[in-house]
Structure formats: structure tokens, C-alpha cells
Structure 1
Amino acid sequence: MPLDFDSLRRWPDVEAPDLLASDAADRLILDESAPFRAGLGDGALAIIGDSYGALTLGAADDGATGIRVHQDALSGEGALDANAYAADLDDRYRSFDLVPELVAGAEVVLVRLPRSLDALADIADLIARHAAPGVVVIAGGRLKHMTIAMNEVLERSFGRLDVSLARQKSRVLIAREPRELDPYERVRTAHHDSPLGPVEVCAVGGVFAGDSIDIGTRFLLENLPTTIPGDRAVDFACGTGVIGAALALRHPSLVVVASDQSAAAVVSARATVAANGLEGRMTVERDDGLSLLADASESFIVLNPPFHVGAAVTGEIAPKLFAEAGRVLAPGGQLWAVWNTPMGYRAALNDLVGPTRQVARNTKFTVTVSERRERLEV
């Protein structure tokens, strides 16, 4: 029985009626790549950016084996695993970081186009350097998120680029003939005078705000307290790690634990740690939530929550993070958060963490501090 794309779920990522696990772009990528995938040997197919498993499982359902997959979001890996188990296809693929082993010798690579041109450049460079000389790259997305600049990025790494006809508001780009490339530095680094002092910010393609300090993060840094309770801080959904690094540099006795579910964020944050000489005092882990931290174990958490799931804007992500912060905070512990004022998160913070007060507000952002209430014995 063919794979039922409508049965795929996003879980453990945020689910809602208007948030789908697959779309027309996934199906177009599979259809356009079918002639190239026919007859591929074991391990000859790689897939990059498969949101919730539609590309991987569609190819597996067509007979592909030994598929190598990279997904930036840890929740996406979880969704792929769950969907694969339900479809009895969980022995057809392995997950990889965005490293040469992902594409080494691959003859066909399917790519769900990222919105970041830097992220696309990282992907194209990796494939051109390490895939088979005759590799065919089928990269697709929704028309509303595609630009001519994506063609230009791919043409820097490949000598031939073909463009498909549009279908259901989607299109694919087919790249071939890898070029001989100059040395490429994936990690970009920039020096900033943050509100807490000088800091080096490192980023790879696809991480939020790149090697800059976004205005929400800067507003949070401007309003953090001058003293930190205890000797540990948690940089939750850390992105490039700039908040945690700035705190560690300002407070020399502070140990910082940072986490993010994005693979690109973790690579970036670890580079930021190294660039600022913080290897002994700041650690970075890839984690969906704060699962590596015990209940009631922390006294100070900082958070600039995302409000995008892929290209979709949703208010469903932050409450999940607030609940995790509430679980991990010890009684009396504090969550310092910055968020887009129109999202109106104060009620959720009161419910999921504890009494919340506004610390600062400007035309776009609000900074709040929430104190974890005492847990009642049941």
C-alpha cells in the first residue's frame, strides 16, 4: 500500500490544524527526482532538510535503502522516527549531522530549500565537495519562499542548473556538474559590543540572526539583572549562544548551560563558546526542551523564544518552552524572557511558570521575569 502522506504527523513538534507534516513541495521533489532515484544502490541517496519525514519515507516507500538524512530540528528527527515506525520503514535510513559523511559518494541528493541563503550555500558547498562527481541535486520549496538568489547560490557550486515548471505553488531546482571550489569557511564570526560587554558571535548558515545580535536579544541583555542568583545560568533555545556567552563574560564565576534543538544553532553556539574562551564554563547541548536538566534544579534561565515553525508563524512554541522552564526552575528561581509584545505571553507565563512582572517594554518587545512558585505537595 503506498505511503499515505496525509497520515504523517509532526509530533513531537508543535501540532495544530493549520500546521501540516507534508506539502505539495515534498511531493513535487519526490516526483521530479523519481527518474534519478530509479535503480539507485544502497546508500546512494541523501536527503537534507526533510521537515517531518515525507521525503525520506516517500523515497523509502519507492524502494530506497541506506538513505542518509540530515534534519536541523531535533523534533524533526523525532517525527521522522515516529512516522517511519508507523509506516514500517524505520530500517531504511540513518540520521547524520551536516558533515561530509552525510553526502560522501551520494549520487542523488534531495533538498528541501532553506529560507536562509547562507544555509543553502553551506549545503551546496558540502554536496559539491563530497558527493559523487555525477551527483544530481533536486532542491525544492514553496514558490512564496523561493527567490532568484537561490539559483545564484546553487550556480556558485554547480555548473548546470535546471528549473522545473511550477506545480501547486511549488517548484524544484535541479543542480548538476559540481564545480572545483575555493576554500570555504562555514562558521562566520563577528565582534559586537553587547550591553553586557564585548563578545564574539559565531554562526553557520540557517541559525537565527546569523552572526549579529538581533534586536530582541539586545533588548533582553539591556535589562538583565546586575547580579545572578546562584552560580549557574541556563541559556534556553540558545541560538548562537550570545546571551549565555555575554553572561559568562560579565560574571566570571558563572557556569552556563546552553541548549537548542537546532543542529545549526548548536554548531554556532559551540563556536561562540570557543571564540570567547569559555570552554571551561559554558556547555552547549542539542536538546528538544530541557530534557537533560532535572526538575527544580536551576535558579536562573534566560529565553528568547522562537515564534516560527519553519515558515509558519505560531504562538504555540513559546508556551511549550515556558512549561519546560517551569519544570526545571527551583522554587524562587527566575525565568527572564523577551518576546514580541503582540504575542501576549504574560498570562501563559503566569500559568506555566509563576508570578510574572514586566521589566521593560519598547515599541516591539517586552521583557518579563517570572518567579517559580512553590510546588504544592499532592
Structure 2
Amino acid sequence: MGSVTELEAFLARLSREPDIDAPELQAYDAADLLLLDAARSLKLRDGDVVVVGDRHGALTLGLLHETALRGLRVHQDGVLGERALTSNATRVLGASPAQQTELFQHHPLGSSLFGGATLVVMQLPRSLSELEEIAWHIATHASPDVVVIAGGRDKHMSHSMNERLGRYFGEVTASRGWRKARMLTARGAIRPLGDPPFALHARDPELDFDLFAFGATFGGTAFDHGSRLLVQTLRERPPSPDPTHIVDLGCGNGVLAVTAALQWPRARVLATDQSAAAVAATKLTAQAAGVADRVEVHRADATDSVPTGWADLVLLNPPFHTGATVHTAVAHRLMRAVPRVLQPGGELRLVFNSGLGYRPLVERIIGPTTQLARNRTFTVLSSIAR
């Protein structure tokens, strides 16, 4: 690979905001550089190039910077990634909203994203299910001669990724490693037969409803251990009086939102998540459980879609990482968004890894806090808004 000094200088100007930003985090990585270098040597036509999994705009804006391309089609599961891309396009390229529409457009997974595409440039997701869902859509909708270049960090890649791509492409090859990153190239799309493999669904013995998930839904169809302990406290130590306006903050597959809707039949539930796959999964989980009329689901950053002072109960099982990096800032950001939406006397019911010690923060920003449950891994707290 040749010199990337000028390209790196360009990418170094990108910001992760509004996603978590910190000195140890950056808006691009070596996989982005590999992909951009490879894309320059391929046949590129306006409107035929698709970018998937661009975390903060490095791939999309890098392609625009390095080539004369226009009309890129982009899919980012997370709304924070979308906002980072548009913000960086304004700040670094000086592109107005109207100009950005000419340069790139956001699409959901499906035919509008991949229809007729000849090149797909993507950051490899860590989830094999997400990779398979993307590969299925490419093989189904893209041009038969589509080329897929997918990059990732060595420590997050496995031969299973080659195998998943190999289900939908006749040829999958791996590049040499560079700066602890490498790239997979897939050609010879094999058009799938039958229905798409997603959404998945499964039922846990402790639940009376199925959990649904798409490839990028965090945790898939699992009833994770943290949510399991939180649900146990809802059943054994429910809020009093019964809540009527409930928020599931970071709803994932919808297990907390639907549990709350079933436990309190008169309650309205607002479920929010920045992930498009989580929002779609929660909608299916609520529909299958028969509570879709009372569970409203939004793709949003934290509590952006929740009116001020609306909630008398907020349920939160926050992540402890950002992307592949363990980082508590994501959870802190979500917790700091809670006070605005809680009514006086409203409750935050929070579960977290016990070693993270969130109690001082929630006591300070919300109010009196009680430990409701603790096991070898997780703690559940109840914090009452002042």
C-alpha cells in the first residue's frame, strides 16, 4: 500500500461527535485506509457505489475526497453514525444539506440501497448475523458482477466471516495484513433462493413472548443476564403506584419494553434506540406479544424522542462499550439524559455490571437510590427523581 499521508491528514480532521469522543478514540482506522486505497483501483460509477457500516464518515467522505464520485448510497445502522457523517460533511467538506443530498443519501438495508450496485465498500461488523444479513441483501439486489470489499481489524476478524460471505459469493479472498487490519474481497454473487434469513425469533423459558432480532440487533434474540435480573425486580419489587408512562432507553430486542407493557396493561411505553435494527426488532417483538398499540418505538439518540417530564418509570440496561472499545462514557451519556424526562418522584430502574460503580452518579443526577438486587455480575438500582 502506498503513502496515505495526505488521506490520513484528511481523515484526522473528522470528529466522532455526536458519538462519544475521547483522546483514545478516533473517527477512522487502518481498515478504512485499506478500503479507500483498494476502491481507488476499481471501476467507480456515480450511483453504483454503496457504503455500509461507515462509523463516522471516514469511508463516505474519504471516497468523495479521493474520487470524483457522486450519488453514494450509504447505510449506517446507528443514528449517531448518520449524524457524525452529515456533521463532518458540513465541517470538513463545507457541504450544505442540499449539496450533501447530491453527494450521498442514506438508505435502509434492501433494494433501494443495493439495487444495481457494482461496488460495496463496508466495515466488517463484529456480528456474524449482521454480516450474513448484509451479504444476503447484496447478493439479492446488487448487480451480478458486484464486488464487495470489507475491512476490519485483525483482532475482530475470523475465518467464520469468510464462510458467511462464501454462502452468497463464489469467490472470497483475504488481503495481507497492514497495520493490524486486513480486507476481504467477495465476487460472483450467488442469488439466494427463498425468504430472507431475518428476522430471527426465539422464546426464553422465563418469558411469555418471542424475542425478535435482525442481524445488527445487539444481543440477538437472547434474554441477556442483566435484563433478566432487572425483570426479576420488576416482578418482585414493582414500582408503586403502577407506572403509566414508561421509557425503555436502549430497547434492543424489546424485552424490557414488552415486559413492562404486559405487566402494566394501562401503561404507555416509549422504546428508543439509536440502532435501526433494534427499532425494527422491538416493533416485531411488541407486535407478536399483542402490545404494539401501547409500545411506541423510536430511532433516536438517548431520550431525544421523549417529552420533558413525561415518564414515571425509565428502564435502562446500558452498554459498557462503544464499538469494539470498552468505555463507560456511553452509559454515562444515557444516564445523564434521564433526569429531563422523569417526573418528580419518577423512577430510574437501572441494571449494570457491578464493577462499574454507577451508584454515585445516579444519586447525584437523579436522587435517592436503593439497591434492589445484586448477583455475581450485575446490580439493579432504583433511583427516585427529586
Q: Check if 1:73 corresponds to 2:81.
A: no
Q: 1:344 aligns with which of 340, 357, 363?
A: 357
Deviations 1:4-59 (A, max 9, x none): 111111000111110111011110111122211x4x22211101100000000011
Amino acid at match of 1:248: A
Distance in 1 separating the partners of 2:78 and 2:308: 24
Stretches of structure 2 that go unaligned for 5 or more consecutive residues are: 1-5
Q: 2:126 aligns with which of 92, 112, 115?
A: 115
Q: 2:221 aligns with which of 211, 218, 221?
A: 211
Deviations 1:302-353 (A, max 9, x none): 0000111110110111111111111110111100010001111111111222
Task: Give SS of 1:84's match.
Answer: helix
The residue number in structure 1 matching 2:3 is none
The residue number in structure 1 matching 2:262 is 249
Distance in 2 separating the partners of 1:31 and 1:6: 16
The residue number in structure 1 matching 2:60 is 56
Distance in 1 separating the partners of 2:35 and 2:28: 12
Task: Give SS of 1:87's match.
Answer: helix
The residue number in structure 2 matching 1:165 is 176
Distance in 2 separating the partners of 1:223 and 1:143: 41
**1:284 positional shift:** 0.7
Distance in 1 separating the partners of 2:191 and 2:337: 47
Q: Check if 1:186 corresponds to 2:192.
A: no
Distance in 1 separating the partners of 2:269 and 2:186: 43
Task: Give SS of 1:7's match.
Answer: coil
Q: Are the aligned partners of 1:229 and 1:299 in contact in 2 as well (CA < 8 Å)?
A: no
The residue number in structure 2 matching 1:376 is none
Q: Which moved more, 1:125-134 or 1:275-284?
A: 275-284
Amino acid at match of 2:157: M
Q: Are the aligned partners of 2:175 and 2:184 in contact in 1 as well (CA < 8 Å)?
A: yes
Q: Check if 1:27 corresponds to 2:33.
A: yes
The residue correspondences of 1:1-378 to structure 2 (distance < 5 A) are 4-36=10-42, 38=43, 40-61=44-65, 62-88=67-93, 89=95, 90=100, 91-183=102-194, 184-194=196-206, 197-224=207-234, 225-227=237-239, 229-373=242-386
Q: Which moved more, 1:245-254 or 1:60-69?
A: 245-254
Stretches of structure 1 that go unaligned for 5 or more consecutive residues are: 374-378
| Amino-acid identity (%) | 41
RMSD: 1.4
**1:275 positional shift:** 1.3
Distance in 2 separating the partners of 1:355 and 1:315: 22
**1:70 positional shift:** 0.7
Task: Give SS of 2:26's match.
Answer: coil
Number of aligned residue pairs: 369
Task: Give SS of 1:198's match.
Answer: coil
Amino acid at match of 1:292: S
Q: Are the aligned partners of 1:220 and 1:367 in contact in 2 as well (CA < 8 Å)?
A: yes
Q: Are the aligned partners of 2:151 and 2:183 in contact in 1 as well (CA < 8 Å)?
A: yes
Q: TM-score, normalised by structure 1?
A: 0.95
Task: Give SS of 1:83's match.
Answer: helix
**1:185 positional shift:** 2.6
Distance in 1 separating the partners of 2:304 and 2:323: 22
Q: Are the aligned partners of 1:229 and 1:300 in contact in 2 as well (CA < 8 Å)?
A: no
